[in-house]
Structure 1
Amino acid sequence: MSTTVKHGYSAKTRMHFLVLFLFGSLLLSGCGSSTSAETKAPAAAPPPATVIVEAAKFKDVTEERTFTGRVEAVDTVQIRARVQGYLKKKSFVEGGEVKKGQVLFEIERDSFEITVRQAEASLASAKAALTLAQQTFNRNNKLVKQRTLAQASLDDAQSALLQAQANVQVREAELSSAKLNLGYTRITAPMNGLVGRTTYSVGNLVGPDSNALVTLVAQDPMYVSFPVPQWLMTEIRKTGRKTDGVYVSLELPDGSTYAHKGTIKFTNVQGNSTTDSVTVRASIPNPERLLIDQQLVQVSVIRKQPERKLVVSQAALLLDQQGTYVLAVDAEDKVVIKRITTGEQQGSLIVIDSGLEEGDKVIISGHQKAKPGGKVSPQMAEDQSGAVPTTGNIKSTKE
């Protein structure tokens, strides 16, 4: 009996295809599982961020404080007439420099010379009367001793002698006064300095009640006065610093540095309640006459001997609500916060009063990549070829 095959395949053949299909599905399933497992494997951790650091170091620091000051003349004299008369001559150039003893003005002398001659004549007359009174006294004294003249006559002669002596003294004083007034007709400079504008012209009547004829201002040396805050003065007094340990340097209005140095001479014993400051005054040479009275200048008070202080770059400083701090890198290359107290600025450096020790590594570039507690890859600033650390103001951050 023959078997009829329908659809072109026998039952045995269809079974063989089914086994192959199931085996292929298992292989595909295994491959899919392997690929999924490989996809879900964890990614490798990124390398630590690179930051630039520098070590806190000690440096010889010259402390300097800057103030705004004003130049003042050491001496200012208003030249006045001491006797009354007409101005006869002016012997200087307005705005020019004069020397001590130089004649500035002359007042007409004729009337004063006459007064001197009169006083000389009166003195001569008084001396003649004194000679006569002395002779009379001597003669009467002998007669009284010989008992040929009454004592009363000798007393009268002695009285006349005393009056004659007193009259001579009066006439001598009158002559001295006349000569003094004659000398006042020549008005001289009491010191070296610059003269200002003349108040009166030649021919004007001047006297003790007149305004000043001219103002004379001393030029060398000059004073420089500047206000120092009360808190700074208190700090200086607490540390026991002396004024002989500093010198004064000036910056002129054109921005140039004045060639000569000054010394502090005076500190006011009273503070200014309006500005809460104390006025300090320094003396400074002025041989080239570059400084003038009431000129505004920048005053720097600089310590003569430098001090060893710990410094870091200003670029390392950060600021938040708690104050100033730096990000330091410890021995395990972890970032730590260190709170600091800063001192004076030294160019691109800042003095560290507390919070750091010599050798501590602080971050000066790459702060945004450094997280407290995290690891970083520090590179010393001097190892960066051509890299210059950024300097500037303190950065403000939030932790």
Structure 2
Amino acid sequence: MKNTYIYCIAAMALLTVSSCGSKGPKQDAAPPATPVNVTEAKKADAIYYDKYQGTVVALNSVELRSQVSGFITGIFFKEGDVVTKGAPLYEIDRRKYVAAYEQAKANLLSAKANLSKAQKDIDRYNMLLKNDAVARQTVDQATAAFETSQSQVAVAQAGVSSAATDLSYATIRAPFTGRIGISQVKLGAQVSPGTTLLNTISTGNPIGVDVVINEQDISRFYKIQKAGTDTTFRLQLPDGTTFNKTGKIFAIDRGVNDQTGTIKVRVQFPNEHDELKDGMSCVLQVLNDNSGDRVQIPYKAITEQMGEFFVFISKDTIAEQRKVKIGQRIQSNVIVLDGVKPGEKVITEGFQRLRDGGKITLGPPAGAAPAGKDGKSAPAAK
């Protein structure tokens, strides 16, 4: 009886353990597939530009300064207007320079008269010397006086030229056709030669834009210069608008700055309507070499890890993680230079919980799809 009781208890214990084990979770059950949204990688026209901070500069600009002293007696232009080459701009009191010029001309006439007298004397003395009617010493003295008179004429001619030059400097003329600025002096102001700034004149059409580039970009700009294209450069103005004309390279500086490793490039733009002003700040946009028909995917599909970029590609029910090389962003998309081919399915939502080789199912991740009017979830993108 006692043994029978023990056997019954053991059987009941085995049944209890078996029943508890059958109700527990299976340890080797596979994780469920992750719902994701995908989009197809497509080729599209991608035109984009690299940006460089630039400054508008006149291709020719000159500060006007007087070369003679005196008082301003005339101003013959309207400030801000375009003046033509040779047009009179300022006049400095001419009276003393006119007097000096007239005096120099009189000195020249006197020197020429003395030369004429010395010429006649030497001719007469030479004739007398042939008849032995005058001493040789007298002829030599007349010859010396003639040569002295010749040098005095040369000095007087140089004096006339100098006085004429000073007189011409009393009227300051435009060295080239360009736009003149606001005058720095008024009528009656005293000016000193070489020091007093009168005004600045500069050309406005065409006009240049100076940018500083790294030495690594030099070969790129030399290629653009050699090609001679005028569609590579665009200009963004300070108000954010884009200038309606394209430019081309005017000059690349002679050498690289050994302190900064940079070089200056000047790009020329037409400026018929005088929209670009000397000294204006702007942004030079240079057409990127990778522009063209490129593979694009949504930027939100990109993940970054340690400075490298990755995406997940849908391979039927498997997610494949792939390293990619990306380019410029185009609005909500990004250019993929390498790693994704056109037509491949890129996972755009739900990849945060994925690993390489993880199982997926097409459908909106939890909370990702907006609800429709009827309260149901919107259909997944395919």
TM superposition score normalised by structure 2: 0.74
**What letter corresponds to residue 66 of structure 2 in structure 1?**
A
Q: In structure 1, what is the Cα distance between the partners aligned to 2:137 and 2:336? A: 100
Following superposition, the deviation at residue 304 of structure 1 comes to: 8.8
Does 1:162 pair with 2:144?
A: no
**What letter corresponds to residue 237 of structure 1 in structure 2?**
S
Q: In structure 2, what is the Cα distance between the partners aligned to 1:62 and 1:154? A: 93
Does 1:181 pair with 2:166?
A: yes
1:220 match: 205
Q: Deviations over 1:136-157 (max 9, x none)?
A: 3334444445655554444333
2:323 match: 339
Does 1:135 pair with 2:135?
A: no
Mapping for residues 1-399 of structure 1, pairs under 5 Å: 49=35, 51-55=37-41, 57=43, 61-62=46-47, 64-145=49-130, 149-208=134-193, 210-228=195-213, 230=214, 233-234=215-216, 237=219, 241-245=223-227, 247-268=232-253, 269-271=255-257, 273=259, 277-302=262-287, 309-321=294-306, 323-330=308-315, 332-357=316-341, 359-368=343-352, 371-376=355-360
User: Residues 189 and 376 from structure 1, CA distance in 2 versus in 1: closer, same or farther, beyond 3 angstroms?
Assistant: same
User: Residues 166 and 49 from structure 1, CA distance in 2 versus in 1: closer, same or farther, beyond 3 angstroms?
Assistant: same
Identity of aligned residues (%): 28
Q: In structure 1, what is the Cα distance between the partners aligned to 2:132 and 2:194? A: 63
Q: In structure 2, what is the Cα distance between the partners aligned to 1:213 and 1:263? A: 33
Question: Does structure 2 retain, via aligned residues, the 8 Å contact 1:53–1:378?
Answer: no
Question: Does structure 2 retain, via aligned residues, the 8 Å contact 1:68–1:226?
Answer: yes
Question: Does structure 1 retain, via aligned residues, the 8 Å contact 2:41–2:341?
Answer: no
Question: Does structure 1 retain, via aligned residues, the 8 Å contact 2:41–2:346?
Answer: yes
Following superposition, the deviation at residue 195 of structure 1 comes to: 2.8
User: Residues 364 and 138 from structure 1, CA distance in 2 versus in 1: closer, same or farther, beyond 3 angstroms?
Assistant: farther
Question: Does structure 2 retain, via aligned residues, the 8 Å contact 1:55–1:361?
Answer: yes
Q: In structure 1, what is the Cα distance between the partners aligned to 2:324 and 2:273? A: 47
User: Residues 252 and 235 from structure 1, CA distance in 2 versus in 1: closer, same or farther, beyond 3 angstroms?
Assistant: closer
User: Residues 217 and 388 from structure 1, CA distance in 2 versus in 1: closer, same or farther, beyond 3 angstroms?
Assistant: farther
User: Residues 169 and 367 from structure 1, CA distance in 2 versus in 1: closer, same or farther, beyond 3 angstroms?
Assistant: same
Gaps of 5+ in 2: 1-21, 364-377
TM superposition score normalised by structure 1: 0.72
**What letter corresponds to residue 77 of structure 1 in structure 2?**
V
Question: Does structure 1 retain, via aligned residues, the 8 Å contact 2:48–2:288?
Answer: yes
Matched residues, number: 338
User: Residues 44 and 131 from structure 1, CA distance in 2 versus in 1: closer, same or farther, beyond 3 angstroms?
Assistant: closer
Q: In structure 1, what is the Cα distance between the partners aligned to 2:107 and 2:221? A: 71
Following superposition, the deviation at residue 220 of structure 1 comes to: 2.4
User: Residues 205 and 238 from structure 1, CA distance in 2 versus in 1: closer, same or farther, beyond 3 angstroms?
Assistant: closer
Q: In structure 1, what is the Cα distance between the partners aligned to 2:218 and 2:171? A: 51
Following superposition, the deviation at residue 373 of structure 1 comes to: 1.3
**What letter corresponds to residue 374 of structure 1 in structure 2?**
G
Following superposition, the deviation at residue 174 of structure 1 comes to: 0.9
